[in-house]
Amino acid sequence: MLLLKNIFPINTREHTYNLFSQNHVSTMFKYGNNFSSFENQKRSRKKLCYMKSEKIGHHQQYCQLKAISNVSAITMEDEKEKIIAQKGSNGIGIVDFFEGKNILVTGGTGFLAKALIEKMLRTTPKVNKIYLLIRAKDKEAAFHRLKIEIMESELFKCLEEMHGESYKSFIENKLIPIVGNIYEPNLGMDIITSDKIAQEIDLIVDSAAVTTFDERYDLALDANVNGPYQLMMFAKKCKNLKLFMHYSTAYANGEREGLILEKPFIMGESITKEKITSISPFTNFPPLHVDNEIDLVSKLKNNIINNIDLEQIMKNLGVERAKLYGWQDTYTFTKAIGEMMINNMRHEIPILIIRPSIITSSYKEPFPGWMQGFRTIDPLIFFYRKGDLPCLLGDPNCVVDLVPVDMVVNATMAAMAKHGNLQNSQLNVYHVASSSINPVSFSQIFDYSYNYFKLFPFVNKKGDKFDVKQMRYFDKILDVENYIWEVLSKQHEVQDGKELTKIQIRLIEKRVEYLKNFSKLYEPYLFDNDNTRKLMGDMSEEEKRSFEIDVTKINWRNYIEKIHILGVQKYVLEGNRIN
């Protein structure tokens, strides 16, 4: 789930707390156009919401699995018996599990966590309190962010219609904004607040991250490694904690090949080391340790005076370190290190890591097409509609792993309920992905986009209508560069009647560079999702309907043409300067 900040800087924030201050490093880590369908959705949404509310109200009571604290006492036979009992009765017990729970959420105003919060409030309304760690100067500012970014969000309209006049009081009773900062010790909270929450919390949801793939190495380490470290330190204070859930990414698997399994990362391991030892078992390769990376960054920063130089040096360093150890970019590299940090610190804390692939707009819930931010494949699709992306680098049959945000949320809640009930001191990894069971290719995505934009072509502010052409594919970057220069140069010359400006030339150069990065980032993968399939097998029929996670049901043509493109246009591009 990458937010492409350097292409289109939408809704991005740079954190202010510096992990690598001189006095902190030494002690660190010892531990469209056609919106009729959306209007129809709005008219029918109220009916849909009340139907769902009634279903929840009449939901049958679920069996609770007995919590087991001693993992050594659990045998494989016991596990089989539990699963058989679940299948024959009431499934996992998702709704019952969240009843009365107090949950701490980081990154709560972000795309994925916001969707998770909405689903919990809509389908498990007896959840007790959801504490949202929000960076703000004071409580008033934190509540303002809660009001603007969550309560008044389009995503929460279904919930608002369900509760009517009592919506505001319901939200204010359930969602508690907490002033803090995940990058700081004790999560930046004051002592009184920290102690109170530590006593109450049952579950932690970690969704905070920097998702820009070429972020500065120091900032990426701070967000994606220091953040989990500080949160794990806080988790150790929570005496009633039943589960720590961390959002990672399927692309944290780096340059692994073949069917990629749902296995945790261990500190010291790396993708490069795996490859080398598989060929030559006795070959030594430097282990990947987070404190070594911190020291490297700290020493380098102390020797750089010019901030302009520091920016580029840190970006280059991140890519270099990532590639050395077997990752494509700084984002996926630091997410993998963050997983290592959590595994290294967990001890008896039950850990759940959810690794989604490319997260896209909602498939069904709370309504189709909801999206926040311009992400991943969307720049490609919307460059294409304007004629700014006439070709792609790579195999047109290359599989692109997409998964709608509501299916990620549903898998998260089901897995949290399953492992929160068991409370085994284990680390469980789930890939929420489609490539191995319902693949879609680049050529299919752009054929479907072509179909849509032929019917509903892009019209700019001048009234010019853009006629899209069929996407072309090349296997050499030089051919891509030449073709893009040829097409875009003609396009701009025809429109303006004069030679290309420096701005236009720079724009074309950025398109070419973007294609290079994208083709490397999303090389073909097949993510095993055996744990997710088992999870679906554990669910009752009612749970399968209420918490849909079966990606084989997605018709990609219908989804791209009638849901996703419309959703991005409606919720991201309307009124935005990049439209």
Q: What is the DSSP letter of 449?
A: H
Indicate which residues carry an active-site annotation.
331, 335
Q: Do you find a cis peptide bond into 366, omega within 30 degrees of 0?
A: yes
Backbone angles phi, psi at 473, to 5 degrees: -125, 140
3-state SS string for 202-228: CEEEECCCCCCCCCCHHHHHHHHHHHH
In this structure, are residues 241 and 203 in contact, taking their beta carbons and an 8 Å threshold? yes
Q: How far apart are CA 554 and CA 434, in angstroms?
A: 10
Q: How far apart are CA 566 and CA 16, in angstroms?
A: 35
Q: How far apart are CA 442 and CA 451, in angstroms?
A: 14
Q: Which residues contact 391 (CB under 8 A, 6 or more apart)?
A: 471, 472, 473, 474, 480, 483, 484, 487
In this structure, are residues 426 and 541 in contact, taking their beta carbons and an 8 Å threshold? no
Q: How far apart are CA 128 and CA 131, in angstroms?
A: 10
Q: How far apart are CA 545 and CA 568, in angstroms?
A: 26
Instruction: For tokens 């080398």, name the residue.
Output: 276
- Integer-rounded Cα Rg, in Å, for the chain is 24
Pairing mode of beta strands 440-441, 399-400: antiparallel
- Torsion sign, CA atoms 433, 438, 443, 444: negative
The residues that bridge with 426 in the sheet, in sequence order, are none
Q: What one-character-per-residue DSSP string does 363-404 give? A: SSSSSTT---S-BTTHHHHHHHHTTS--EEES-TT-EE-EEE
Helix axes 530-538, 405-422, angle to 10 degrees: 70
Compute CA 369 distance to the chain's CA centroid, rounded to the nearest angstrom. 16
Question: If DSSP codes are grouped into helix, strand and coil, which group holds residue 355?
Answer: strand
Q: How far apart are CA 362 and CA 379, in angstroms?
A: 18
Q: How far apart are CA 416 and CA 409, in angstroms?
A: 10
Of 194, 201, 206, nearest to 238 (Cα)?
201
- Letter for the amino acid at 58? H
Q: How far apart are CA 69 and CA 90, in angstroms?
A: 23
Q: Which helix (H) or strand (E) holds 104?
A: strand 102-106
3-state SS string for 265-314: CCCECCHHHHHHHHHCCCCCCCCECHHHHHHHHHHHHHCCCCHHHHHHHH
Q: How far apart are CA 54 and CA 122, in angstroms?
A: 11
For the record, the structure tokens of 503 come out as: 């701005």
Q: Which residues contact 26 (CB under 8 A, 6 or more apart)?
A: none
In this structure, are residues 197 and 178 in contact, taking their beta carbons and an 8 Å threshold? yes
